[in-house]
Chains A and B, each alone.
Chain A
Amino acid sequence: MNGENFTRLLQVQQWLYHEARLLDSRRFDLWLDLLDEGIRYRVPSRSYIRQGHVKDFSTWSVDRELEADDALALIDDDLSALRTRIERLQSGMAWAESPPSMARRLVSNVMITAIDANGRMSVVSTLFLAKVRGDQRVLFTAERRDRIVPAGESFRLQERYVVLDDVVLASENLSLLF
């Protein structure tokens, strides 16, 4: 890794940590400012789908599962839908988050897997999200596949695809963002 790539990786990591901290501290309006106006934010639902060509589960493919044509996403939002999601949380009547859950996001395993001539990056990261509310604690793990684009001195999130590891969600709702 040369110096330029190393610097870029550090910048992206710092930006992801900053983003996670905004969400942890419920500063949703500032989080919205990090989004590209063309953002697509998706969380697919997971299933075990028998893959006829697979003889050996060591070659089993998450991507092939996620291509299933009968899939129903858990979240499939554009910017307007994300804004509506945030406004709802701020309405004072979003009972699932009123009082709010305590949330802590750990972002790790950050890799820039591709970059184009305009500096648009494909970035993967691992998210560990702990949500505590009342006497309940729910843990989520996920791989996030992001498209992050340069914007002045910083970045904007143009695409996020959150591959949760839960097949049946252990959580009674998804009231937080990943």
Chain B
Amino acid sequence: MKHSEYVAPDGSWIRPEIFSDPALYELEKQRVFGRSWLLLGHLSQLPRAGSFLRTYMGEESVLVTRDRIGRIHAHLNACRHRGYQVCQEDRGTAQRFQCRYHGWTYDSDGSLATVPGEESIYYQEIDKRQWGLVPVARVETYKGLIFGNFDPDSPALEAFLGDMAWYLDIILDRREGGTELLGPQRWRIASNWKVVAENHCGDEYHIGFAHGSVFPRDLGSNRATPLPFAREVRPGLGHGVGVNIFPDEMAPQNYLRLGPDFPPHVEKYSLGVQDEIVRRLGSQRARMALIHGAVWPNFGMVPIVNSLRVIQPRGIGEVEMWSYCVVDRDAPPDVKAWISGQSARTFGPAGSFEQDDAGNWTAVTRSSSGTEARKQRLNLQMGAGHEERSDRMPGELGLTASEINQRGFYLRWMHDMFDGASA
């Protein structure tokens, strides 16, 4: 199949072949995961010198560290001698990382510190400065979030985020003290990564049906149901977000909550920080709540319940979900505890919503392997040609449910995969 057959020129259809062709996945590892800014974690996870966390960029194991003088680094988690992973834990604090195979040892800045037998069997000829851990080419932060990029020629992180940053601020820049991440929860789903990512990026259509068990049970008691105010917004560059835009005449206590009413201590906190949020974000953004979204390619989010997640690809037909709860750093512990508990009750593997998502994604992935099914077009036309602009916010707008963001997602995929290549 020619690559121009994978996705319609306007994004209004795709072919499931893109979820099942192993050759495309190999190309994605180079052209998507090898060139994009990928979420590694949050500065709050590296609070002190020697703090570390282990994560993935695509399928590469990556070690993220804070060194002795406080700088953040990301390196391939592979010894330069035989490639064994030098870090076996998920997070913690360490002065040194020692390979278990032959004992080469690295400092928290990635430099090679000691080599057993350096004098006796290497004749003092090994140049340790040349054999530090391989650094990830670019590491930058945005409002506490740490991103890495393997491509030394990539645009800066803020240019990559583009107008999506304006929306991310609604989550990340509410308070002077910023945010912190709790988690992650991790679980595996037999789905192609794009099926999961496009759902986060733009699918409000499925909420009422796929999550029919939750509506109206968890949301019906809500004094402000979210969807009447929702718009899909395409900030561009493959990112997408669903936004609740609350009317000016609506009081904060009527739109702050989703799901069960806040207990008094959470309501008090949420109302108490409203003035600070208005000061920092302006009165327009203070009246917006992000429902769902995704930063290209695999950083998904459900901010309405404080959930941020990385959709880690594990081969063409499997993902490992890494789901975090984002909370205001300066919120009281009992507020953080309620928010993280409520986040887990709705999203995450045991969440009332998310329990039912995985089955959809595995089914889509499974049908994409059929030799006939994979060639057929899948419809993504909802709202095509009806995009709008607003002077209140950047990006293009669709209705409450619109596939504007899935189209943007797959057009970005085509761009990264094939622009400059011949058909």
Contacts and interface: CB of A to CB of B under 8 A. Distances in A.
A115 B325 CA distance: 36
Interface stretch (A8-16, A76-84, A153-161): A76-84
A144 B193 CA distance: 34
Given A49-B89, A91-B213, A94-B356, A174 B341 contact: no
A132 to B, nearest CB: 15
A52 B88 contact: no
Interface residues of A, number: 38
Contacts of A117: none
Contacts of B213: 88-89, 91-95
Contacts of B190: 172
A45 B183 contact: yes
Given A76-B340, A84-B218, A49 B189 contact: no
Interface in B331-372: 340-341, 343-345, 348-350, 352, 354-356, 358-360, 362
Contact of A96 (B89, B323, B348, B356): B356
Contact of B356 (A75, A95, A174): A95
Contacts, number: 131
A45 B323 CA distance: 11
Interface string A33-70: 00000000001010111111000000000000000001
Given A70-B182, A74-B350, A175 B340 contact: no
Given A169-B186, A173-B358, A70 B181 contact: yes
A172 B217 contact: no
B12 interface: no
A170 interface: yes
B344 A76 contact: yes
A29 B186 CA distance: 30
A173 B341 CA distance: 17
A172 B324 contact: no
Contact of B94 (A50, A72, A89): A50
Nearest to A173: B355
A85 interface: yes
Contacts of B320: 168
Interface string B181-206: 11111111110000000000000000
A85 B343 CA distance: 14
A178 to B, nearest CB: 10
Interface residues of B, number: 47
B9 interface: no
B210 to A, nearest CB: 7
Nearest to B94: A50
B391 interface: no
A94 B355 CA distance: 8
Nearest to A85: B352
Contacts of B184: 45, 72
Given A70-B45, A72-B325, A91-B212, A172 B359 contact: yes
Contacts of B341: 73, 76-77, 81
B349 A174 contact: yes
B270 interface: no
A70 B329 CA distance: 11
B119 interface: no
A151 interface: no
A88 B352 contact: yes
Nearest to A174: B350
Contacts of B89: 48-50
29 contacts: A48-B88, A50-B52, A50-B89, A51-B92, A52-B94, A70-B44, A70-B182, A70-B183, A72-B185, A73-B340, A74-B348, A74-B350, A75-B350, A76-B340, A77-B345, A84-B218, A88-B213, A89-B213, A93-B213, A96-B356, A96-B359, A167-B90, A169-B185, A169-B187, A170-B188, A172-B187, A172-B362, A173-B187, A174-B349
Interface of A: 43, 45, 47-52, 70-77, 81, 84-85, 87-89, 91-97, 167-175
Given A76-B341, A174-B355, 8 more contacts: A48-B89, A49-B89, A50-B94, A74-B350, A81-B341, A93-B212, A94-B213, A173-B350
In the complex, the 10 A-B pairs of residues with the closest C-beta atoms, listed nearest first: A50-B92, A72-B183, A93-B212, A172-B358, A169-B187, A174-B350, A76-B341, A93-B213, A94-B213, A72-B182
